[in-house]
Amino acid sequence: MSGTDCWMERRVFLGAVGITLVGAWRSADAQEAGRSWRVGFLTGMTRPPDGGPPAPLRTALQAAGFIDGKNLGYECRWAEAHNERLPALAAELIALHVDAIVTSGGPAAAAAKQATSTIPVIVVNGGDIAETGLVSSLSRPGGNVTGINDPAAVLSAKRLEILKEVVPAIARVAVLWNAGDNAMTLRYRQIERAAQTLHLGIEPLGVREPDDFNAALEAMTRTPPDALMMVTDALTTLNRRRVIDYAAAHRIPAMYEFDSVVEAGGLMSYGSDPRESFGLAGEYVAKVLRGAKVGDLPVEQPNRYFLVVNLKTAKDLGLPIPQSVLVRADRLIE
C-alpha cells in the first residue's frame, strides 16, 4: 500500500472517529436539553407566601440554565420551627427522588445527611459545618455534603467586640439561643470563649420551644443584663418580634446576626448576607446537576460580612453610636 493510500485510510478513520465523537456530544447535549431535574429544599423555618425556595437560590440556578417549570422543579418542606418534623420531611424528599437537597439551618442539614448518603446535600446557615461533623473537612468534604460555612469563633468574637465598642461600660451580656440545635449551641460556646477574652460575663438563656421565651425574658427582667446577643436559627427568628420589643421596652442594646432583624427594629447586626449564601448554594447545585461530585466541592465561605446599624433604634435607646462604628457600617437604617 502506498503512503498516499495509508494517509487516505488514516484520514477516513479519523474522520469517522470525529463524526462519532461529535455525534456522542450532540446526543449528550440533547439528553441534557430534554431532561428535567428536581431540587429539594428543607428548612426549619415557616412556609413563605410563594411556597418556593429562597429567590437567590432560584436566580442562581436560572442563570446556570436550570429554569423552574421548564427543566427544573422544586420540592420544598418547612418544619415551622418544629425540628422534630425534619427527619420525616427529609424522608419525603428522598422518596421523591430529588437530584439534590438544599438545607437551611443545622437541624435540617443533619436530618438530610441522616436520611441519605447518596443524594447531594448543599448546606446553608448550618453553622460551622466542620465543627458539627456535617463534613470531614472544609477543603475536601467527602461524602455527599458540602455548602456554605459559618466561622462561629471569628464571628462571635467580632460581634462582642462591636457591642463593647458601642457600649463600653457593659460587663454582662445575655445570650439567647436555641439550646436544642447543636450548631447554635456550638456558636454559644464560641461566644463564651470570646467573652472571656474581653473580660465580659455571660448570662446563658437557652430556649428549645416558643414557650421557653417567657422564662428567658423573665430571667432578664429579674437580673437585667447590660446588653443582649441573639443567635439566629428558625426558632429565634420566628420569635424575634418578642425579643426586639423586649429589648426596646427595657432599653437593652442588642446585637443580632442578620440584617433582617435590624430592619425589623433590632439595634445592629454583623454577619453574612443570606442572599449571597443561597446564591452560592445555587451555583453548587448547578455544578452537581452537571455531574460534579459533591464531596470534591470545597466548603465555601461568604465573600464578606456586613455591619448594619438601626439609627432610629439607637436614638430610642438614647444610645450614641461612636463615629468609629458609623464609618465602618455597611448600612445605616434611619
Query: Measured in whole angstroms, how far is the alpha carbon of residue 35 from the centre of its chain?
Result: 29
Phi, psi of 189, deg, nearest 5:
-60, -35
The reported pLDDT for the residue numbered 182 is: 84
Alpha carbon distance 109, 54 (integer Å): 16
* Four-CA torsion 112, 114, 118, 119, nearest 10 degrees: -10
**Is the pLDDT assigned to residue 22 strictly greater than 60?**
no
Q: Which domains does the chain have, with CATH numbers?
A: 35-150+274-296 (3.40.50.2300), 152-271+305-333 (3.40.50.2300)
Per-residue confidence band for 15, with pLDDT thresholds at 50, 70 and 90: very low
Give the pLDDT confidence of 52-90 residue by residue, as tens digits: 999 999 999 999 999 999 999 999 999 998 989 999 999
Instruction: Render the burial of 37-70: b for 16+ CB within 10 Å, e for the rest.
Output: bbbbbbbbbeeeeeeebbebbbebbeebebeeee
**What is the per-residue pLDDT for 132?**
87
Mean pLDDT over each residue of the chain, to the nearest integer: 89
Q: Is the predicted pLDDT of residue 230 greater than 80, yes or no?
A: yes
Residue pointed to by grid coordinates 437560590: 57
What Rg value do the Cα atoms of the chain yield, rounded?
A: 25
pLDDT of 3 above 50: no
Could you give the CA distance from residue 170 to residue 182 in angstroms, rounded to a whole number?
A: 28
Give yes or no for residue 12 having a pLDDT over 60: no
Non-local CB neighbours of 320 within 8 Å, separated by 6+ positions: 314
Q: What integer pLDDT is reported at residue 39 of this predicted model?
A: 98
Amino acid at 202: I
What is the model's pLDDT at position 13? Answer: 41
What pLDDT is stored for residue 206 in this prediction?
97
Share of the chain above pLDDT 90, in %: 78
Question: Would you list the DSSP string of 92-157?
Answer: HHHHTT-SEEEEESHHHHHHHHHH-SSS-EEEES-SSTTTTTSSS-SS---TTEEEB---HHHHHH
Average of pLDDT values for 169-188? 92
Residue 6 pLDDT greater than 90, yes or no: no
Percent of the chain at pLDDT exceeding 70: 90
DSSP single-letter state for residue 273? -
Give the CA-trace dihedral at 108, 113, 115, 120, to 10 degrees.
100
What is the mean predicted confidence (pLDDT) over 239-243? Answer: 96
Model pLDDT for residues 88-146, shown as the tens digit of each residue = 999 999 999 999 999 999 999 999 999 999 999 999 998 889 888 999 999 999 899 99
* Strands of the chain, DSSP E: 37-43, 72-78, 100-104, 121-124, 145-147, 172-178, 201-207, 227-230, 254-256, 268-271, 306-310, 331-333
Residue with cell 433582617: 260
- Please say if the pLDDT value at position 215 is more than 90: yes
189 grid coordinates: 460556646
What pLDDT score does 150 carry? 84
What confidence score (pLDDT) does residue 32 get?
A: 56
